[in-house]
A and B are shown apart, each in its own frame.
Chain A
Amino acid sequence: MSVWDGLGLGFGNALTLANLGWALLGCFLGTAVGVLPGIGPALTIALLLPITFQVEATGAFILFCGIFYGAMYGGSTTSILLNTPGESGSIITALEGAKMARNGRAGPALATAAIGSFVAGTIGTLGISFLGPVVVEFALLLGPAEYFSLMVLCFVTVSAVLGGSALRGLTSLAFGLLLGLVGIDLQTGQPRMTFGIPELLDGVNVVLVAVALFAVGETLFLAWRHVEGGAKVLPVGNIMPSRADLKRSWKPWLRGSLLGFPFGVMPAGGTEMPTMLSYYAERKLVAPEHAHEFGTTGAIEGVAGPEAANNAAAAGILVPMLTLGLPTSATAAIMLSAFQSYGINPGPMLFEQQAPLVWTLIASLYVANVMLVVLNLPLVGLWARILKVPQPQLYAGILVFATIGTYGISNSVMDLVLLYSIGTVGMFMRRFDFPTAPVVIGMILGPMAEQNLRQALTISQGDWMAFLTRPGSAMLLALALVALLGPRVWALVRR
């Protein structure tokens, strides 16, 4: 079956009233769970698994995909408005997004995130339809050595968030690396720095840390300094993005999408790394007249790029699932178990054996994407109005919201203790001008880099040259070197 035949068949099935209804329900549920930190699409779909006993396969998968895409949209809303990322892929969005919101540009930030998500979702879905099988074969050529080199490249992005003092920034990074070590070491099964507390065996959740540092730390800091500031209401500003905003956004959308999709397809890629790389790229590529907005008043490029990267990566994650039956994320793993409860064994033959189901699913992704942008754009004004709440009440609300969401991660009191302990650390970091973003970056990249390094070394029997003799890995390391030294050398040459 050709791609066009497949899509024709798929749209024919997806555009029935019942299936549109499932898509709408999925988008709505997905947006809702994306908004709450802690409760992600994986958990939601898992809780809905019992419907597979009742609902026919097509309807159920359209619902699940709607939830998956919807969560990617919803995650950015709270990142921007409340500095409280709902998903790990939205953490980077909070860096510039929250600053824009605080400077009266919440509307444009939300709008660029929504439209960027739509653009990226569409590009990603096109990628699934036309490139899927090819990209996946290429992604399989990447082994732990290449992944480690890729993470070395990502570590360069830390330089974009270090802030004024490199020493302070690197201290934050080290704190993040330290937090990332907590838990059971995958390669040996031994617990590290868990202090006999069973809840720490599984490590510290990265969304929890982001919420603690960005939201709780900030709130505590404001409460501490409240006397000086007094109760003021944040400006809401224009709701819709101006022509200039869109002009500044479209390139980051495309760059983010093209960066995100391949990362999603990679079996060990995920949504976090491309958002970091996209943020770094936008910061370096931004027009000089807007460069000062990064890290101060919030640059729209820093929202548009990472948000697009996040959504394109999310679409990419579906590729190994549909073409090879590989569950490369928690959500994909649960969707695969849903396939199994229909007696469908997802594997390399899924596309051939279940063509109508797969194409309907892909068609419904296009539908969900349109629904989400239609659903979300008009809501931008409504969401942005949250900022009209006076600051003390707004921040109290953020605390409640962060607490509930964190408790939802695993219904554990220990998580709340961690949230407020790390939040207190965040308060002091804010007070003494330590940037908080490197903590989160270190926490995401550190453990991944460590595991891949050790996997690569086990495979090469301890030979470090493997990173240089494998062409892919050597290329990525060279790229990292260029990214690190390039700007400095360039500055020297120009002088």
Chain B
Amino acid sequence: MFRRSLLTAAAALPLLPRAALAEQRFASMTMFIPAGPGGGWDGLGRAVELVARQAGLVGSFQFENIGGAGGTVGLPRFVAQRRGRGDALMISGSIMVGAVLTNKTPVGLQNVTPLARLTDEAGVVVVPAQSPIRDLKGLLDALRANPGAVSVAGGSAGGTDHITLGLMLKALGRQAREASYVAFAGGGPAQAAILGAQVGAGISGLAEFAEQIKAGRMRALATTGATRSDPAIPTLKESGLDVVVTNWRGAFGPPGVRPDALAKLVALFTELHALPAWAELLRTREWTDAFLVGEDFAKFLDSDRAQTEAVLKDIGLA
């Protein structure tokens, strides 16, 4: 079919001249993206393909994109169709942790095998350029006084942006469900609402708002990472608010993979991460390295899920 021929055409494009070839670990690999092409998970998946193929770690990749509902449409399909397969990967991240909880789907990240956390992205809290609020203190004072009066724009309800706002309110001694959170579908409409000062404030990934902040059309008040992502913008933490939320992305294997096959998959990512080409790619795309494998990643996943669930329960969404 037409789409199929497009896919092969894309795959047949000759890649950049190959650098030093490492030993090939997999002849072919299925890469499952539970989101549409062009988004963050798809971008990470294709970046893994680019580096792994150039280095010769993996012979070829077959991509499958099943998007929708924070990944919860695709996830059950990956679990059912790839069970026990040692040559299948899925890219996912913190958005799915929240989506599984709010959508109340029976299949969650506990049904897949965590392999490696690869990148994470801090969020940023902004106000429109024409807002009377000058700094984070001003916003926090307004939120403390009456959270309902400060409308905050962000992505879908129960997502990372919403959870950030919930945690901020909790840290201020208010209830997460008092928030006046306005959910927008996708980054464009949310940005437009902030630029047009339709809302009091906004929360999103730093990369998404970076250009608007640089151009002076939005005022950045704080970022949400553990350390500063932009030297000019303070973090919530240093402002005395104990809130750290990042939008992390990573790779998962199917359920029921045999231990030796699992070790091989984890080793692939350790090797990939050590490549200079990977470091170079992270640098050019301005992605933050958040590499974490095996047990550590599984532990992180548990604590992330617990924190997310607590906030969502507080908001009344889980």
Question: A interface vs B, CB < 8 Å?
Answer: 32-33, 36, 39, 42-51, 53-54, 139-144, 183-191, 198-199, 201-202, 267-268, 320, 324-330, 332-334, 337, 340, 343, 345-349, 404, 408, 410-412, 451, 455, 458-459, 461
Contact = CB atoms under 8 A, between A and B. Distances in A.
Nearest to B74: A198
Enumerate the 9 nearest inter-chain pairs by beta-carbon distance, A residue then B residue, closest first.
Answer: A347-B211, A46-B37, A202-B68, A267-B192, A143-B198, A140-B196, A189-B102, A189-B158, A201-B69
A346 B284 CA distance: 15
Interface stretch (B9-17, B18-26, B119-127): B9-17
A189 B103 contact: yes
9 contacts: A50-B46, A184-B156, A186-B157, A188-B102, A189-B98, A198-B76, A198-B105, A201-B73, A329-B188
Contacts of A141: 196
Contacts of A43: 3, 36-37
B10 A47 contact: yes
Contact of B38 (A42, A345, A347): A42
Contacts of B103: 184, 189-191, 201
Contacts, number: 185
B167 to A, nearest CB: 16
B1 A49 contact: no
A140 B192 contact: yes
A238 to B, nearest CB: 32
Nearest to B14: A54
Contacts of A32: 2
A51 B198 contact: no
A347 to B, nearest CB: 2
Nearest to A268: B189
A143 B1 contact: no
Given A143-B193, A345-B211, A404-B1, A333 B183 contact: no
B interface bracket (residues with beta carbon within 8 Å of A)? 35 or more
Contacts of B279: none
Interface stretch (B212-220, B225-233, B261-269): B212-220
Nearest to B215: A348
Contacts of A349: 211, 214-215
Nearest to A185: B157
B212 A410 contact: no
B104 A51 contact: no
A142 B13 CA distance: 44
Nearest to A407: B1
B138 interface: no
B157 A188 contact: yes
A201 B76 CA distance: 12
B189 A267 contact: yes
Contacts of A334: 37-38
B88 to A, nearest CB: 17
Interface string B176-189: 00001111111111
B145 interface: no
Interface string B125-155: 0000000000000000000000011010000
Contacts of B105: 198, 201
Contacts of A325: 211-212
B195 interface: yes
B189 to A, nearest CB: 5
B7 interface: yes
B284 A410 contact: no
Nearest to B200: A459
Nearest to A340: B285
B210 interface: yes
B73 A267 contact: no
A201 B158 CA distance: 15
Contacts of B148: 461
A142 to B, nearest CB: 7
Given A140-B192, A143-B198, A267-B189, A49 B38 contact: yes
Interface string B48-78: 0010000000000000001111001101110
A482 B108 CA distance: 51
A202 B192 contact: no
B274 interface: no
A26 B13 CA distance: 17
Nearest to B146: A461
Contacts of B188: 267, 320, 326-329, 332-333
Interface string B252-271: 00000000000000000000
B244 interface: no
B15 A53 contact: yes
B64 to A, nearest CB: 8
Nearest to A412: B66
Interface centre among B13, B69, B210, by most chain A C-beta atoms within 10 angstroms, is: B69
B43 to A, nearest CB: 7
B317 interface: yes
A143 to B, nearest CB: 4
B202 to A, nearest CB: 12
B196 A189 contact: no
Interface centre among B99, B180, B192, by most chain A C-beta atoms within 10 angstroms, is: B192
Contact of A47 (B6, B67, B182, B184): B6
B116 interface: no
Given A48-B10, A186-B157, A143 B68 contact: no
A144 B72 contact: no
B191 interface: yes
A51 B186 contact: no
Given A189-B157, A327-B188, 16 more contacts: A43-B3, A45-B38, A46-B36, A140-B196, A185-B157, A186-B156, A188-B317, A189-B98, A190-B104, A198-B105, A201-B73, A202-B73, A326-B195, A334-B37, A347-B214, A410-B66
